[in-house]
Amino acid sequence: MKKATNQLTLFATLIILTLNFQSCEQKQKEEPKTIEKEIIVKSEKPEYFLLRPEVEKAYGYSHAVKIGNDIKISGAVSMDDEGNPTAIGDLEQQMKNCYSDLEKILKHYGCTFDDVVVENIFTTNMPLMLEKSAYRAEIYKNGFPTGSWLGVKELALPEFMIEIELEVHKP
């Protein structure tokens, strides 16, 4: 009788283990499968541009840096290729000189003023800047970018009356 009881216990244990095993398999099958996507982010290497290499190296800056679709352009001032101020005392001409340099940088990257998303202007004479600002409509024909205009005490050299920096997004 003891042998029959042991066999019955063994048989019952096997049935319970089999049911548990099938239950585990069924639970695994019922669980929703999650598929994870692997996203590979490519690191963008900055591309530097020097408009006036000698001047920019001497002062320690790059006139523009492109990373991905974004370009940051340092403030342009009215200067010649040796770094000497030009159009001294003439804010409107200094502004035009700044935009001329900025256009050269934009063209280097295959951009136009339509690609500018931020324009910050620094000036030592805000009332005169406001008076001469209509010229900007010749630059931005399809709408103005965001930005700030700041009246400042001085710029890098005392002859500079205006400095214009840009941020560009090129899709």
What does each of the 171 residues of the chain score in pLDDT, given as a tens digit? 555 555 655 555 555 655 555 655 555 555 566 777 777 666 789 999 999 999 999 999 999 999 999 999 999 999 999 999 999 999 999 999 999 999 999 999 999 999 999 999 999 999 999 999 999 999 999 999 999 999 999 999 999 999 999 999 998
67 in any annotated domain: yes
Query: For the chain, how many structural domains are there in total?
Result: 1
Q: Could you tell me the CATH number of the domain that includes residue 91? A: 3.30.1330.40
Within 13 A of 90's CA, how many CA atoms are on the CB side?
A: 12
23 in any annotated domain: no
158 in any annotated domain: yes
164 in any annotated domain: yes
Burial of 16 (C-beta count, 10 Å sphere; 0-12/13-18/19+): exposed
152 in any annotated domain: yes
Amino acid at 68: G
Q: Domain range for residue 112?
A: 47-169
61 in any annotated domain: yes
Q: What is the pLDDT of residue 38?
A: 74
- The pTM score is 0.75
> Could you write out the three-class secondary structure of the chain?
CHHHHHHHHHHHHHHHHHHHHHHHHHHHHHCCCCCCCCCCCCCCCCEEECCCHHHHHHHCCCCEEEECCEEEEEEECCECCCCCECCCCCHHHHHHHHHHHHHHHHHHCCCCHHHEEEEEEEECCHHHHHHHHHHHHHHCCCCCCEEEEEECCCCCCCCCCEEEEEEEECC
